[in-house]
Structure 1
Amino acid sequence: MAFRIFIHAFRMVFGNFGAALRISTPMIVMSLLGAFILMPDETSSTGTPAEQFSNFFTGPLLMWLLAYLVATLWVAVAWHRYCLREEYPGAIVPAFHLDRILGYFGWSILIMLVAILVSLVAGTIIGGLAAITQSAALAGLLWFGWFGVLLWFIQRLSLVLPASAINEGKSLRQSWEATRPISGTILAVALMFALFSALVGQAALPLFGVSLVLGGVINGIAQWISTMLGLSILTTIYGICIEGRTIE
């Protein structure tokens, strides 16, 4: 079933490619703008490391980061609404639901804080076991295993996000309980998505040595695919667990 969910999410994006492009317009525009802001110049490559760091985090860059966050939340809400409620985008950009975007952001922060808390506990346990056994191999294996568990944990809590996007009130507890019947499937999907994103993200690295522009373009495409695919996986799991939908 995990593979079916992954393929279904892939088809959601590329089977509705025109709508996906229109809905993700804010994110695409901000990515293109970021390519100019992040372009290295002579002043940013000189001086001490501290000076280079200071030059990098300039006012325009911080403003762009904020704008990119808003664009990503805008796209996420619009894509969930399109897939679950068939709310079609406008000719250029999707509808801007400020209340849903703020709700989505609030739930995202809460999930992140919960994930950080459990990660601190897990890190303490793993660090203690590594200190007792004096085994770097064991520590590496435990951290790799925890990464998979963390993805699974976050995914099981994250049904509150599409629920918020379509204004259906759900709690973290409800999300956790709703995903219980397919918890193993969710772990498999999370690992498949992580592996896919890592492989796609590596595609642009060799191209940066040839051309910064070409590398930036390919990197932007890779990020777009990973983002839209991740949103589609979450939407698919919501449809299965909350709305009782089936997939082919």
Structure 2
Amino acid sequence: MSSFRAIPAAFYVLGTVATHIDQALRMSWPWLLVAAGVRLVALLLMPVLTDELAADSTALIGQAWDALWLYLLYSSVYTVAFASIAVNWHRYVLEEEAPGVMDLLRLDAPVWRYVWNIVLTYIGGGVIFGAAILPIAIVARNAAAAGGERLGLMAAGATVITAVVLVGLVVLRLAIKLPAVAVDRSGYGFFQAWLDSGGNNVRLLGFFIMVLAGIGLPFLLIEAAALYLLSLAGEGALTAGGLVLEIAGAWLITIVGATMLSVLYAVFAEGRDV
């Protein structure tokens, strides 16, 4: 079990992203174009809800299925695209390995293993969330019976927040395996990641909050300002700008998230100091 220093690690993540953002964009731009193209096609084909359609339940169900398939299509492309970007970025951060031109759109075994392990990580988080959320009904019901509806809602809200934090920590600790997949360390699994990161829950939560405050909040403010200005320019500009901001947000989450996991892997699995 390694000791983890949250503040230096958070500053290391912020510094790495700020210093190497140009390299991150260089190794990401082909996949960003692919993701943007698929998203644009899905946006153009997405059914539009009209009054006539809303009145026809059969047609409405058919359109809903069409929308679902389109969503699954571009979500799948997003997952593969950003997994490929993340694999290259992990290797760059951990091993200083810059991808060649032929690796910018890599779809090799590490990428597919990375996608599969993302799915497993979130399945684990979903199971934990389901188990953690079950007491909500009991707590809310008992609190409401004892102190009224308002107290019941407060108790339920507190329980939901606790469950979300718990699941977030579980997912973060399990996801420390993902950089191992990216650098082809096949012997490092979820169980080892869980053991290595044990005893650091409060530090990990603080680490996540500091990185979120340093990057996430400024981006949200910039995004809100940009959407407001685009809305003044018209619906077309708002749609196009919204698409760009959506891709940019997903990319930034990928780069920051992969950097965070790389740092956690370096500390817990490799014993590095940051």
TM-score bracket, shorter-length normalisation: 0.7 to 0.9
- Contact persistence 2:129–2:164 (CA under 8 A): no
Q: Which moved more, 1:90-99 or 1:4-13?
A: 90-99
- Cα 1:41/1:120, change in 2 over 3 Å: closer
- Cα 1:193/1:128, change in 2 over 3 Å: farther
Matches within 5 A, 1:1-248: 1-39=5-43, 44-46=48-50, 47-48=53-54, 50=61, 52-57=63-68, 62-91=72-101, 94=104, 96=106, 98-134=108-144, 135-168=152-185, 169-193=187-211, 197=216, 200-201=219-220, 203-205=222-224, 206-207=227-228, 209-210=231-232, 211-247=238-274
TM-score normalized with structure 1 length? 0.85
Using the alignment, how far apart are the partners of 1:78 and 1:52 within structure 2? 38
Encode CA deviations 1:197-246: one digit per residue, 9 max, x unaligned.
46634653543634222233233323322221111011111111111222
Q: Structure 1 residue 146: deviation in Å?
A: 1.7
The residue matched to 1:180 in structure 2 has which SS?
A: coil
Using the alignment, how far apart are the partners of 2:182 and 2:78 within structure 1? 18
The residue matched to 1:96 in structure 2 has which SS?
A: coil
Using the alignment, how far apart are the partners of 1:172 and 1:150 within structure 2? 15
Count of residues in Structure 1 that have an aligned counterpart in Structure 2: 246
Q: Structure 1 residue 152: deviation in Å?
A: 1.0
Segments of 5+ residues of structure 2 without an aligned counterpart are: 55-59, 145-151, 233-237
Q: Structure 1 residue 52: deviation in Å?
A: 4.8
Q: Which moved more, 1:147-156 or 1:102-111?
A: 102-111
Q: Structure 1 residue 132: deviation in Å?
A: 1.4
Q: Which moved more, 1:201-210 or 1:94-103?
A: 201-210
Q: Which has the larger radius of gyration?
A: 2
> Could you say which structure has the greater relative contact order, defined with CA pairs below 8 angstroms and 6 or more residues apart?
2
The amino acid that maps onto 2:13 is A
* Cα RMSD after superposing both structures: 2.7
TM-score normalized with structure 2 length? 0.78
Segments of 5+ residues of structure 1 without an aligned counterpart are: none
